[in-house]
Chains A and B, each alone.
Chain A
Amino acid sequence: MGAILTVRDLSKQFGHFSALKKVNLEVEPGEVVGFIGPNGAGKSTTIRILLGMLQATSGDARIFGRDVWSDAVEIHKRLAYVPGDVNLWPNLTGGEIIDLFMRLQGSGDRAQRDRLIARFELDPGKKSRTYSKGNRQKIALVSAFATDAELFILDEPTSGLDPLMERVFQECVEEVKAQGKSVLLSSHILSEVERLCDRVAIIREGEIIESGTLNELRHLTRILLRSETVSPPEQLETFPGVHDLERSGSRAVFQVDSDQLGAVMNYLAGLGILKLESTPPTLEDLFMRRYEQSGAKRSETER
């Protein structure tokens, strides 16, 4: 198989509470896999199990072919982790902490470290208690990307960073990917996931409910169309898979299920198309649809 990371039927119980129910996940070499889901869905639990901090109740999890619980120390020599909440010792400076982290992980070189510090515009001479959340995240990011790790596990790594730094982060991910390394990225910033990830796994209430490439997942959602036709598309509302239709004369704005697209296009073509704009579904749309809860308000109109 050769997968860097394999998770099979992973389950975790906390007392009566089932945090994870038979989760399956895989990361191949050179792949960036996105791991998304609402708060409390089990992303952090999964990651903590992968890092050997929690023990799974049942199931199998392997990195580099080794068990994540019993071989944790060996695995971690080739792994880099960036947590969502970075906690640092207040009296050590950023530079000291980065050096410490690199030594404890066991790889990486100074030149790379210094380059990253410059790219992330970090001042390493200040005590970490003076750092904002964003700066603490930068320390974790520099410490991770300065190593020679083969697998990067990133848990909401950029939630405190502004777009300038977000861009630097994305460049780093692309660089390691080009080197054939793998990344597991858990994030709420769906634009980031869309841009970086080859595949995406969606978790909800402890179960993986969707998994595949973005293209595969797009099939399961809708496309937004704005059309203007020669003759008014009066029959449009009768088509199955057409939603939220707003029509005024010959103009129409609506959503259509991906698998109905062909039929609708044929119909519009028959009416004579003057203008047609289509917006492919974003990951956010997909996400929203899969997570709609009763009472939550939809707002496609806000786009």
Chain B
Amino acid sequence: MATSDDICLRAAGISRSFGGRQVLQDIDLDIQKSEIFGLLGPSGAGKTTLVKLFAGIDEATTGSVDLLGTRLPKLSMLQRIGYMAQSDALYMELSARENLQFFGELMGLGGQALKRRMNHVVELVGLGEHLRKPVSSYSGGMKRRLSLAIALIHEPEVLILDEPTVGIDPVMRQSIWDELRQIRAAGATIIVTTHVMDEADKCDRLGMVRDGRLIAVGTPEGLKQDTGSHTIEEAFLYYGGVRP
């Protein structure tokens, strides 16, 4: 039984609506510390809205989100979270280095510590050669990598990544996942939304979201068994209503 000490994030009765539109309904979820939790679901199911609630940058209409024991949203908690949005929010006219420096300083890093972290994350995402070029010249995959580097720069306790590896080739994807596992081993919790089924398999536990509801939670193996599927993709299609 998971004690409250082991719980990184607790969402209770979450609903979120915009104007008249109900985007999320009645979501209850516990995410453990030091686990990689994946959120899967068709486009428009509400995954992005949900992780924004987890990251504390949006507020639920009803229900509560508690992160590391603190009720969200709370400005001071944001320093402990690393968030990577679905669409890159980078300063196009600046270089990658300047972007990293800005966001790093924003997170309270400075001097040698900042330099060290910058070197680390840059090497991780493989942008060393392109560091001084303006971001406007980057391909989509490169921008994604930079966004990831920025989310990692302050060594957050909770990492929230929205479709992090879209447009990134498999080799880079692999090394990113290796780093994610290392981060988890160091004690951080990682929440990922993804479409890539291979990545779903690498998560410790998965949550399937459809039409704003959480319809299944479990380990990849568990979900496959429950739906009689060989692959996560089949399980997904089952929950998506395509497979009978």
Contact = CB atoms under 8 A, between A and B. Distances in A.
Contact of A164 (B140, B167, B237): B237
A131 to B, nearest CB: 10
B184 interface: no
A302 interface: yes
A164 B163 CA distance: 16
Interface stretch (B19-27, B63-71, B94-102, B192-200): B192-200
Interface stretch (B4-12, B50-58, B148-156, B172-180): B172-180
B166 interface: yes
Contacts of B3: none
Given A135-B43, A296-B171, A191 B197 contact: yes
Determine chain A's interface SS by DSSP, over half rule: loop
Contact of B171 (A44, A135, A159, A291): A291
B237 A165 contact: no
A39 B43 contact: no
A287 interface: yes
A299 interface: yes
9 contacts: A37-B169, A133-B86, A164-B236, A188-B169, A191-B198, A287-B170, A287-B171, A296-B174, A296-B175
Contacts of B198: 191, 284
Contacts of B166: 133, 159-160
B139 A40 contact: yes
A163 B236 CA distance: 8
A287 B139 CA distance: 21
Contact of A85 (B44, B140, B168): B140
A30 B185 CA distance: 49
Contacts of A162: 41-43, 195, 240
A126 interface: no
Contacts of B140: 84-85
A44 B167 CA distance: 12
A74 B37 CA distance: 51
A297 B175 contact: yes
